[in-house]
């Protein structure tokens, strides 16, 4: 009986650690489990996406998409971006704050088109605020901003 309990606990821990982490799909070791990707176009838009395996929650996939969008915005030299759910919405300039996540065979995935814009643009999302807000959740506790002053001895 004790062996079964230990085996069940070990299996539960192993499965809990199997959720897709935040990494690129181009990573040869981790890419097969999913991850983020982005590519330019059409026009000045950038298509950003994240795909997970069956062990990640759809809400987390949506957060990863938003986080990657903020990283891409800064990589492109921008500070703000707008989000479009589809290419059709981008052409029609129908901006979104929602991150729609679909699921195929129990594996959540999402993508969006972003457009890097100046700060005053309508519905602009500040990249720095997104990176700060979700740093701990995406990159781990060590990436979280300091919450207080250190005391000296």
Domain residue spans of the chain: 20-140
Pairing of strands 80-84, 46-51: unpaired
Per-range mean pLDDT, top range of 96-110, 120-134, 137-151 = 120-134
Supply the mean pLDDT for the chain.
Answer: 81
Condensed to tens digits (0 to 9), the pLDDT of residues 6-63 reads: 444 343 444 445 667 887 787 766 656 788 899 998 999 999 999 888 888 989 999 9
Q: Which of 133, 88, 119, 107 is nearest to 50 (CA)?
A: 107
- Greater model confidence, 142 or 77: 77
Cis peptide bond N-terminal to 42, omega within 30: yes
| Element spanning 108, H or E | strand 107-117
The pLDDT of residue 7:
43
């Amino acid at each position: 009986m004790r062996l079964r309990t230990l085996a069940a606990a070990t299996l539960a821990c192993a499965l809990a650690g199997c959720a897709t982490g935040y990494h690129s799909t181009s990573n040869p070791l981790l890419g097969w489990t999913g991850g983020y990707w982005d590519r330019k176009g059409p026009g000045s838009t950038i298509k950003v996406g994240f795909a997970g395996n069956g062990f990640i929650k759809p809400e987390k996939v949506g957060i990863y998409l938003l986080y990657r969008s903020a990283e891409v915005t800064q990589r492109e030299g921008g500070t703000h971006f707008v989000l479009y759910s589809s290419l059709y919405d981008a052409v029609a300039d129908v901006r979104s704050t929602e991150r729609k996540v679909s699921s195929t065979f129990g594996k959540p995935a999402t993508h969006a088109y972003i457009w890097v814009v100046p700060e005053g643009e309508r519905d602009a999302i500040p990249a720095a605020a997104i990176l700060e807000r979700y740093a701990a959740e995406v990159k781990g506790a060590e990436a979280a901003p300091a919450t207080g002053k250190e005391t000296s001895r």
